[in-house]
């Protein structure tokens, strides 16, 4: 275990803990919409994407078909197209190895796996995601098998935890300067405006277009 991996592991623990609580909700909700416990657990093992898994449940629970649920997952995860692409040049190995390692990319990777020079560290990425992966799987098992005993985490306000994490990280980004703040404002406006007219996930993907402001930069140090 490299020091950077261990550092990533430590950085990932708070997100892993919050993810575990959220995953309990996922397990409970999956059972509510008629998914067997083993399927809920398999879902988390193979897909490992909170918002996308919730989106699939909401389609299935609303009477939508399997194809519609998969489309919901694809749209919700579409933001990982630009996010994972950003990691490409920082990952070692050939195309297949890079694509395999990029499976570890999650939302907070953009922050916790970042080097001071703006590139990304592979071991920080793997370590921080490992901590979150353990939390997500543990929570799913607990929710799917013991949900009735645990109760509804949403009543405890635990759904506010991840947006609060994101807000903390966002505020740190805003302090990087006026360019970052302007791009954040543009991203927020794009997402907000698209909410009523685009399916869930698309507003977030579209907001990433605000980062194209960086094309105006002449030098490597933006923000």
Partner 1 sequence: MSTATALWVIGAAAVVTVLIKGIGPFALGGKPLSPRFEAVIALLAPALLAALVVTQVLADQDRWVLGADTAGVAVAGVLFWRGTPMLVGVAVAALVAGGLRAVAG
- Residues between 73 and 92 with contacts to partner 1, criterion CB under 8 A: 73-74, 77-89, 91
Site for partner 1 (CB under 8 A): which residue of 100, 115, 146, 151? 100
- Taking the least distance from each CB to partner 1, the nearer of 56 and 131 is 56
Token digits for 4?
């950077």
- Token pair of 20, please? 């575990």
Closest CA to 87 of 107, 72, 73, 65: 107
The span from the CA of 177 to the CA of 165, in Å, is: 20
Question: Hey, what are 111's tokens?
Answer: 């922050």
In the complex with partner 1, the residue whose CB is nearer, 149 or 155, is 155
What is the sign of the dihedral through the CA atoms of 130, 133, 137 and 143? positive
Residue 19 CA, chain-centre distance (Å), reads 10
Closest of 123, 114, 118, 143 to residue 44, by C-alpha = 143
Residue span 173-212 as binding mask against partner 1, x where in contact by CB under 8 A, dash where not: xx-x--xxx-xxxxxx-xxx--xxxxxx--xx--xxxxxx
Residues numbered 101 to 140 that lie near partner 1 (CB under 8 A) are 101-103, 105, 107, 110-111, 114, 118-119
Please report, as residue ranges, which positions from 8 to 47 form the binding site for partner 1 (by CB under 8 A).
14, 18, 33-36, 39, 42-43, 46-47
Q: Looking at beta carbons only, is 2 or 119 nearer to partner 1?
A: 119
Q: Determine, following the binding rule CB under 8 A, whether residue 2 of this chain makes contact with partner 1.
A: no
């Amino acid at each position: 275990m490299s020091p950077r991996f261990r550092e990533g592991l430590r950085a990932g623990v708070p997100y892993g803990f919050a993810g575990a609580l959220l995953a309990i909700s996922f397990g409970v909700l999956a059972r509510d919409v008629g998914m067997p416990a083993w399927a809920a657990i398999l879902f988390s093992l193979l897909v490992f994407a909170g918002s996308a898994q919730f989106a699939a449940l909401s389609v299935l629970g609303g009477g939508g078909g399997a194809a519609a649920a998969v489309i919901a997952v694809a749209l919700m995860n579409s933001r990982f197209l630009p996010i994972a692409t950003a990691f490409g040049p920082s990952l070692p190995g050939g195309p297949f190895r890079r694509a395999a390692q990029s499976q570890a990319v999650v939302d907070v990777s953009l922050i916790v796996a970042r080097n001071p020079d703006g590139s990304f560290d592979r071991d920080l990425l793997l370590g921080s995601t490992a901590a979150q992966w353990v939390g997500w799987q543990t929570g799913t098992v607990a929710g799917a098998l013991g949900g009735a005993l645990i109760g509804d985490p949403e009543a405890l306000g635990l759904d506010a935890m991840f947006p609060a994490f994101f807000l903390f990280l966002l505020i740190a980004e805003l302090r990087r300067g006026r360019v970052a703040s302007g791009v954040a404002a543009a991203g927020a406006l794009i997402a907000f405006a698209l909410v009523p007219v685009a399916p869930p996930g698309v507003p977030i993907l579209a907001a990433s277009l605000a980062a194209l402001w960086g094309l105006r930069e002449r030098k490597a140090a933006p923000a």
